[in-house]
Structure 1
Amino acid sequence: MNRLGWHRLLWWLGIGLMSTSTLAANLSAHFFTTRDGLRLHYLEAGSGPQTIVFIPGWLMPATVFRLQLKALGDEFRVLAFDPRSQGQSEISRGSHDPARRMADMEDFLQAAGVGDYVLAGWSLGVLEVLDFIERKPQSGLRGLILIDNSIGEGTPPVARARKSRGDRSDPKFREHYLTNFCRSIFANPPPADIADAVLRSALQVPESAARELLSQPYPRTYWRDIVARQEVPVLYAIRPRLREQGEALQIRKGSLAQVEIFEQAGHTLFVDEPARFNAMTTDFARRAFMSSPDGARSALSARPPPSGN
């Protein structure tokens, strides 16, 4: 192993010593069994009837939202889900197709006793929450938070060139690839427990499941049309590469849309700039819960103008 490899290994091992105690001090963990018998996990903070639900991205754990659980839990009940094979949920050797994942999400909301809620998805979670509300309409949905992924507006974003090429089914290459991937999603060094949980989760997901999760069987307009049909407020938190999609969303949805651009953050913009993200989410959720779906448009008209544009 070269010097850089040893540095990475020591860094990951060092932070791993902190993760359990840090999480235990702030959050409560829950498990439930899905309709097909798998044991899945979610984290909870706060209490009350108004709930914010976070769905993580590709291979990611619920723990990535620890800074949101801790801060938003002072006012709301906040839940973060570990999808099957991710985080602390049981690893499945079976299908991870959209129908299975949507059934898991439905089982999760039922097990957690969620009533009125704001649903937040990040990265792949954006696509999954949109697919979920399309397949399984939600009477308790009061708002959507879509974090840093395409929603099918405008022209497709330009894919970034991959620096690492090789066979991801090879264990050594896969570990190298995922270690670099997990570092690349942060613009700044993340809290130790979050970084550790992110890498552990990514490495544990079966390769076949990781590939299946990236094979979304829909045209990109599917996501655009779902968002267009929603009568609840939508908060779109993105980096500059999705600016065009944010502008198109603003035109399409008018006062129901709030677009926030994080100019300096990485893909985990809620980790890189937690104070801004948490304040923005708190304000959005307050207004979303104050309004009914039919009255959301008038309630959102009083929101502050988008920042970062």
Structure 2
Amino acid sequence: MRAPRHLLLAAAVGLTPGLARAEDAPKPIPPCEKTPTEGDVAGAKGAFQAGQASFEEGDYNRAISYWDDAYRRDCTAHALLLNLARAYELNNQKRHAIVALETYLARQPSSPQRDQIARRIEGLNEKIAQEANNPTAGPGPGTGPTAQKPDGQPASTPEPDTGGKRPLTPLIVAGAGGVIAIIGGVLYLGAAGDVSDIEDKCGGRSNCPPKLVEEGNDARSRQTTWGVVTVGGVAIAAGGLVWYFLSKPKGGEANTALAPKRRLLPRVDPVVGRGFTGLAVSGTF
């Protein structure tokens, strides 16, 4: 006797949640056996940025796809594995997250985060064991933008493992300019005070003693010198701040893996001598 059609449909619908919760067996991440070309690195950067945008939108499936493509293009950027692990975890693909984390430890054995990542793997294994004992608990893979806390209140979307930061070089330049301006300002005020004292001694007379005339000229020279240094320091500080606020934030750990080596920081020093005043700039930009 055939079962009624509506009973078959009900059974199929009842089985759907269980199928949705099932996680496909993770595949091992391919070995890193080639050196990426400049084109591979450029493509990896583009894929990473696209994955970052999808992650922030809560579309973890798409973020995983982009970051997986980025790591296949540049398999030396091992920090991408941490991003993949986080996206897998939020997408309720814990076994995939474990594979990504274990691969990271295997390829970065001296990572300072080793103990933290090992504890993270242990926690994921415990959750998998709990879900195995209680098959009806835990949602399956999805693209929900928020996770649920135990009390039922929605939690905000976790921040990705990488974060954009502006470079520190402009702030260093601005700080150096501020120091120059402060030193120049203090010495300028001292020289201005000396000029005022000598003028008081002369009493406005045109026939001041030669010694006072020499001291006055020396004080005026120092006043001019440190005035120029003060203005230069203010200009450097302002330029550093403008540079900082106009610079684009750089990616965090994954971007660091794809970024070029850091250059030497510039250094600005005041140069003052008899008959000349200026600023010495050293380093590379």
Scaled by the length of structure 2, the TM-score of the pair is: 0.25
The structure where strand makes up a greater share of residues is 1
Decide which structure has greater helix share: 2
Whose Rg is larger? Answer: 2
